[in-house]
Amino acid sequence: MDTLSSSFLQKYVPNNFICNFIDPPLRPSIHPNHVLSGNFAPVNELPPTACDVVEGSLPPSLNGAYIRNGPNPQFIPRGPYHLFDGDGMLHAVTISGGEATFCSRFVKTYKYTLEREIGSPVILNVFSAFNDLLASLARYAVASGRVLAGQYDPSRGIGRANTSLSLISGKLFAHEECDLPYGIKLTCDGDIITLDRHEFLGEPFTAMTAHPKIDMETGETFAFRYSFLPPFLTYFRINGDGIKQDEVPIFSLKQASFIHDFAISKNYVVFPDTQIVIKPRDMLRGRVPVRVDLEKVPRLGIMPRYAVDEREIWWVDVPGFNIIHAVNAWEEEDDGGDTIVMVAPNALGVEHVLQRVDLVHLSLERIEINLKEKSVTRRPVSTANLEFAVINPAYVGKKNRYVYAAVGDPMPKIAGVVKLDLSLSTANSGDCTVARRLYGSSCYGGEPFFVAREPDNPAAEEDDGYLITYMHNENTEESKFLVMDAKSPTLEILAAVKLPQRVPYGFHGIFVPESHLRKL
């Protein structure tokens, strides 16, 4: 067989044959026509492009770059596709002197680059590839053949870097939890460059959470990875100089669980062990390996954050408590630090979280962990459907008063943002919402991000700053970058920037001050 014919078969025949003749009818949750409709549809890369401020003016103290991550498949999928499967794309607004520049670039992961060269998808998508036994076996056989033929090397990473971003020891990274992070750099004109896969954080085939926690006072980063092989959970930290410390494998987690996020306080880390489990054997049956086990009792694992092994971890059952994201945690000073308070959205209707997220209600809760009695009490702090909740980043691991959360309408669409005052979360307080902004008819946004007005002022009030996010109008098909006053009772819009290209709905973002951009 000549090279051209071989290349044609490798690129097109296996995928087309499986999609056309083997795949069963696709469920809506993995049907590309459904998943990628409207503003979930992918966009092309856009080089740095000047933007117009169409409302208000950009605050003088808001110099830097807001970068948001999200899935954006480089190839329009012909077969099953899940929302989590897309290649990572970063959308950045760079602000300087009241002017804004916008740029969209793919994270140039090993997966993205390899598939770009081949001209079609190669690496299996966990949430959609295993769709019926025969189709799953066919896709697995094709993928295995490509590995054996040397077409791709799984040890170089299988991730999409499509979930979040973080600043670790002064360096910017794009994350997805099934792989190691990729270094990112912004140029002086606002362009986005992928540097490399940061293998100093782990060996080949290892990974890192997409939600590391950065202690702004110590400069340390706290992180973990989960696995479908023992140890199912491994904890580690990175010191202020960017040097990874010894890992702490946690063997007391007896089965593989989907642990997307965790919380840290001054002296502890808190891990959720939810009803969302990982069953690798299900792949052999043509089923998605991540599923919900309603017979399992959710737990929390509490461990000193400087533990050198797992002997000090303990687990407590918390029935009905399933969290995907953690907002923050701290130790109460009033009782000598014997109580850890954690704030997190609880997924009610968790059985729908992977297939019908629109049926899930996310109840933001205050969770109190009694360290002496090893017991847990919980109460909601809002009646709304809230996710993607954030705080002033300087308060990670410390007692914070304010939370800013996205309003589901229903999820995954975000109708607005609310501000909650946790000082009102007494036993009989009810809803702690103190400010709200809805975007209007057919307008939807994403996760807000808090930027302090005076980040270097220790006397600044916790909520003295701005909420920033992207918002899309589905009627006009225009996207904007919004800047809101975080202290305002209406979360007043201070500035709106019209973007030169639509921004698809995505996941998590970060703001990098101008002083940091120069050092990346």
Distance, CA of 228 to CA of 280 (rounded, Å):
7
**Nearest C-alpha neighbor of 355 from the set 79, 38, 30, 133:** 30
Provide the CB-side half-sphere exposure for 148 (13 A, CA): 6
**Nearest C-alpha neighbor of 73 from the set 21, 18, 128:** 128
To the nearest 10°, report the CA torsion of 401, 406, 407, 410. -140
- Per the annotation, does 361 bind a ligand? no
**Nearest C-alpha neighbor of 491 from the set 425, 432, 404:** 404
Distance, CA of 97 to CA of 191 (rounded, Å):
18
> What does 446-470 look like in DSSP terms, one character per residue?
---EEEESSTT-TTS-TT-EEEEEE
Take residue 391 and report the two structure tokens written for it.
Answer: 């705080």
**Nearest C-alpha neighbor of 435 from the set 467, 409, 393:** 467
Q: What one-character DSSP code corresponds to residue 323?
A: B
Residue 240, classified by CB atoms within 10 Å of its CB into exposed (0-12), middle (13-18) or buried (19+), is: middle
Provide the CB-side half-sphere exposure for 438 (13 A, CA): 7
Distance, CA of 462 to CA of 474 (rounded, Å):
34
Measured in residues, the chain has a length of 520
22: phi then psi, degrees, rounded to nearest 5? -115, -40
142: phi then psi, degrees, rounded to nearest 5? -65, -45
391 within 8 A of 366, measured Cβ to Cβ:
no
Q: What one-character DSSP code corresponds to residue 26?
A: P
- Per the annotation, does 31 bind a ligand? no
Distance, CA of 102 to CA of 393 (rounded, Å):
24
Number of Cβ within a 10 Å radius of residue 394: 17
Q: Distances in Å between the alpha carbon of 110 and those of 140, 183, 301, 333, 395?
A: 19, 13, 34, 47, 35
Distance, CA of 256 to CA of 228 (rounded, Å):
5
- Per the annotation, does 508 bind a ligand? yes
Distance, CA of 112 to CA of 348 (rounded, Å):
35
Which residues make up each annotated binding site for Fe cation? 211, 260, 325, 508
